[in-house]
């Protein structure tokens, strides 16, 4: 894999990882919340081994990527486009996990986009027909409650909680995630997987917590694009043992996106879904280039 530090037109730096032979076709990965480009370290080589070109990056404010204060979900697609243009990509399939789900859907507004795949992606807040917090672990209720209270409240929450994330180890991860994971996720967190997830968390906040904070603030605001206007193929992968993003979110998104295909995986959690279905998801992504 190759690491890059791209300078964007507005003067911000953004960290990027790529794998495979550069091509006009690319699978583009959006990490969750919190997260960083290293979330996908086990996925990018799979794309490359199958003959594809893969790109992951750290959203603004995460890892070594400079902050873009006040960004919305749709704003982030401008960074996606800049990265795609840097690599001369003409056709892209965006994959987003968890908090990366809305961002991969936003990419469908780009000219390079040919499809999007959301893995346990969160739905929109403030909708009459989606109880956003229902079924989530208590930790999410507290965190999003702070985001809803405004920037000062969520920053205070970050200051009180970021140290645990910045220092978490694989052996501590199950306890650290508490009520946000169930049995399916716990089973998927083998020592190797747990350390990889813990590393991505540490990477996410190694400089500061602004990426995480800005994600939370963006999720409780309008995303900036209309789901009903999406015309590119969309896959929505969802399990029913997910306490970070309950399956009601996937069902809601499927009801709003005309081109959506809901792929429901009974018995899978928030983390286990991506771990157990990664090969199939990558293969699906590459088929869009055929």
Domain total in the chain: 1
From CA 144, how far away is CA 152, in angstroms rounded? 13
**Domain containing residue 227:** 2-287
Using DSSP, state whether 254 is helix, strand or coil: helix
Predicted confidence at residue 140, as pLDDT, reads 87
pTM for this structure?
A: 0.96
Structure tokens at 255: 């009801």
Mean pLDDT in each 10-residue stretch from start to end of the chain (290 residues)?
94 98 98 97 97 98 98 98 98 98 98 98 95 89 92 96 94 92 95 96 97 97 97 98 93 98 97 97 98
Predicted confidence at residue 262, as pLDDT, reads 98
Q: What is the CATH number of the domain that holds 98?
A: 3.40.50.1820
Distances (CA, A) of 11 to 6, 7, 66: 10, 6, 9
């Amino acid at each position: 894999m190759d690491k890059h530090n791209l300078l964007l037109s507005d003067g911000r730096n953004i960290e990027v990882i790529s794998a495979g032979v550069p091509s006009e076709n690319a699978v583009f990965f959006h990490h969750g919340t919190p997260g960083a480009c290293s979330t996908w370290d086990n996925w990018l080589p799979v794309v490359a081994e199958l003959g594809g070109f893969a790109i992951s990056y750290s959203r603004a404010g995460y890892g070594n990527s400079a902050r873009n204060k006040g960004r919305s979900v749709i704003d982030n697609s401008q960074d996606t486009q800049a990265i795609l243009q840097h690599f001369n990509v003409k056709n892209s399939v965006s994959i987003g996990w968890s908090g990366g789900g809305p961002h991969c859907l936003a990419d469908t507004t780009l000219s390079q986009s040919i499809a999007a795949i959301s893995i346990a992606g969160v739905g929109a807040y403030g909708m009459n027909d989606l109880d956003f917090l229902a079924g989530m672990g208590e930790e999410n209720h507290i965190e999003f409650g702070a985001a809803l209270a405004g920037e000062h409240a969520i920053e205070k929450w970050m200051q009180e909680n970021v140290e645990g994330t910045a220092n978490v180890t694989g052996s501590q991860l199950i306890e650290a995630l508490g009520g946000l994971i169930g049995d399916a996720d716990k089973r998927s967190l083998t020592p190797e997987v747990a350390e990889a997830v813990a590393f991505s968390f540490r990477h996410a906040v190694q400089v500061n917590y602004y990426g995480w904070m800005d994600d939370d603030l963006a999720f409780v605001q309008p995303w900036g694009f209309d789901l009903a206007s999406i015309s590119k193929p969309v896959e929505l992968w969802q399990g029913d043992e997910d306490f970070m993003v309950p399956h009601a979110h996937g069902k809601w998104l499927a009801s709003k996106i005309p081109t959506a295909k809901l792929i429901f995986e009974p018995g899978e959690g928030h983390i286990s879904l991506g771990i157990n279905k990664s090969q199939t998801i990558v293969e699906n992504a590459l088929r869009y280039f055929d």
